Amino acid sequence: MKGFQNALGALADPKELTGALDLKNLPTDWLVDKYRDMMTIRRAEEAVAGLVRSGEAKAPCHLGIGQEAVAVGVSAHLNAGDKVYSGHRGHSHYLALHAPLDGMMAEVLGKATGASGGMGGSMHLFAPEVGFHGSVPIVGATIPIAVGAGLACKMDGKGQVAVAYFGDGACEEGVVHESLNLARVLDLPVLFVCENNLYSSHLDIHLRQPSNSVARFAEAHRVDHRVIDGNDVVAVSEAAADLIANARAGKGPGFIEAVTFRWLGHVGPNEDIDVGVRRSPGELTAWKRRDPVRRLTDALSASRGVGQDRFAGIDAEIVRAVDEAVAFARASAYPEDRVLLDYVYAGGAA
């Protein structure tokens, strides 16, 4: 491709933005909660990676280690009445809403106690009680569905919003453009959240798009957008706060482009540095220096005097909770054979 545009500049350069976060005037306890939420995602993903390595989880698992700040920053402004939709890499979006850990682990193992009754696996989570209305792995599929949820929210008139999480790869599907246009034309309360991790499976964005910034699509459809450091939970939270408030107030859709990076391969528990056409060990090491968790704890230590023991204590609690969830999942039963047909139509088998 001729003339690739590096519109993201420093946001896409892992040598930049590696220092402690600017915590603005956010309360310390609120920030420590964000640490807890991000570490919950990280430890849960590590546990899933373990289940894949051990062969207990066979279904494809797309892990979000390195991308935790996006879901945590957005979810800080959502409540149980909102409608969140996601795709194949959806664990973080589910967990950031405090959906049950044990339901996720059980789903990963295909157990009846799982978030989707063991019928979907890692790529199909569901926890409407906290606002997580479903993830499915056809790329882009939940984007128009979130637009429809936004339409329902608007009709309900209770100030709720819908959220669609997707990746930079999804922006190559035509439906994204139709969805942005429709949400704008109908002024729907929808927050589009693109986690731009610069890759779609094995292909770096420069091999797929003429610019590394996908916010140009929001611009084209006159949707209010913010392009931010997706590894900065404070920045994500600020952008989400604004756009969600606007959506609740009837001003229509918003779009966040959160620039981030996944530490593991497209699917499975390994780093896959040999798979990407440009994904190199050097690139990965550089991105790990932009660790969203470490940048928050550095800032909390330096400017708020939060001690390492407090972080370690929280981490230990999380590890225990994750271990318990895995044990619960292992001990759970598989769905009964009859549900194969019972779930096809309302009222059971045809």
Partner 1 sequence: MSAVSYADAIRHGFEYAMERDPKCFAIGQGLWSPWYVGNSMRDLDRRFGKERVIDTPVSELATTGAAVGAALNGYHPIVVHPRMDFMILAADQIVNQAAKWRHMLGGKVSPTIAIRGIVNRGGEQGAQHSQALHSWYAHVPGLRVLMPATAADARDMLIAAAQSPDPVMYIDDRWCYELAEELAPAADIDVAAIRPMVRREGGDVTIAAASYSVTLALKAADLLAGDGIEAEVVDIRQVNPLDPTLVLESAARTGRFVAVDGGWSTCGLAAELLALVAEGVAPSRLKAPLARVTLPAAPAPTSKPLEAAYYPTAETVRQRVLKLFG
Ligand X SMILES: Cc1ncc(C[n+]2csc(CCOP(=O)(O)OP(=O)(O)O)c2C)c(N)n1
Catalog residues that contact partner 1 under the rule CB under 8 A: 58-60, 110-111, 118-121, 123-124, 136-140, 169-170, 172-174, 200-203, 207-209, 274-275, 277, 334-335, 337, 339-341, 343-344, 350
Per CB under 6 A, the list member of 137, 254, 265, 335 interacting with ligand X is 137
With 0-12 CB in 10 A as exposed, 13-18 as middle and 19+ as buried, what is 274? exposed
Structure token digits, residue 125: 């989570």
Q: Between residues 7 and 275, which has the closer beta carbon with respect to partner 1? A: 275
CB 245 within 8 A of CB 161: no
Which partner, ligand X, partner 1, none, binds residue 199 by CB below 5 to 8 Å per kind? Answer: ligand X
Contacts of 2 (CB under 8 A, 6+ apart): none
* Residue 89 touches which member of partner 1, ligand X, none, C-beta under 5-8 Å by kind: ligand X
CA angle 77, 120, 47 (to 5 degrees): 70
Return the residue nearest ligand X (CB atom). 167
Residue whose CB is less far from partner 1, 114 or 292: 114
Per rule CB under 6 A, is residue 192 in the interface with ligand X?
no
Helix (H) or strand (E) holding 322: helix 308-331
Q: Which is nearer to partner 1, 103 or 110 (CB)?
A: 110
**DSSP letter for each residue of 168-200:** TGGGGSHHHHHHHHHHHHTT--EEEEEEE-SEE
Q: Assess contact for 95 and 45: CB atoms under 8 A.
A: no
Per the CB < 8 A criterion, the answer to whether 334 and 107 are in contact is: no
Q: How many other C-beta atoms lie within 10 A of the C-beta of residue 302?
A: 13
Q: Rule CB under 6 A: choose which of 18, 201, 211, 246 binds ligand X.
A: 201
Give yes or no for residue 88 binding ligand X (CB under 6 A): yes
Partner residues linked to 229 by β-bridges: 259
Q: How far is the CB of 207 from partner 1 (least distance, A)?
A: 7
Residue from 170, 13, 167, 191 nearest 89 by CA: 167
138 touches ligand X (CB under 6 A): yes
| Binding-residue pattern over the window 253 to 292 for ligand X, x denoting contact by CB under 6 A | -------------x--------------------------
Report CA 47 to chain centroid distance, whole Å.
Answer: 17
Q: Which stretch binds ligand X (CB under 6 A): 6-14, 143-151, 163-171, 209-217?
A: 163-171
Q: Which does 118 bind (CB under 5 to 8 A by kind): partner 1, ligand X, none?
A: partner 1
How far apart (Å, rounded) are the C-alpha atoms in residues 138 and 143?
A: 10
146 binding ligand X? (CB under 6 A): no
Q: What letter would DSSP give residue 262?
A: -
Query: Is residue 94 within the footprint of ligand X (CB under 6 A)?
Result: no
Nearer to ligand X, 225 or 266 (CB): 266
By a kind-dependent CB cut-off of 5 to 8 A, residue 260 interacts, out of partner 1, ligand X, none, with none
* Interface contacts to ligand X, rule CB under 6 A: 88-89, 137-139, 166-170, 197, 199-201, 266
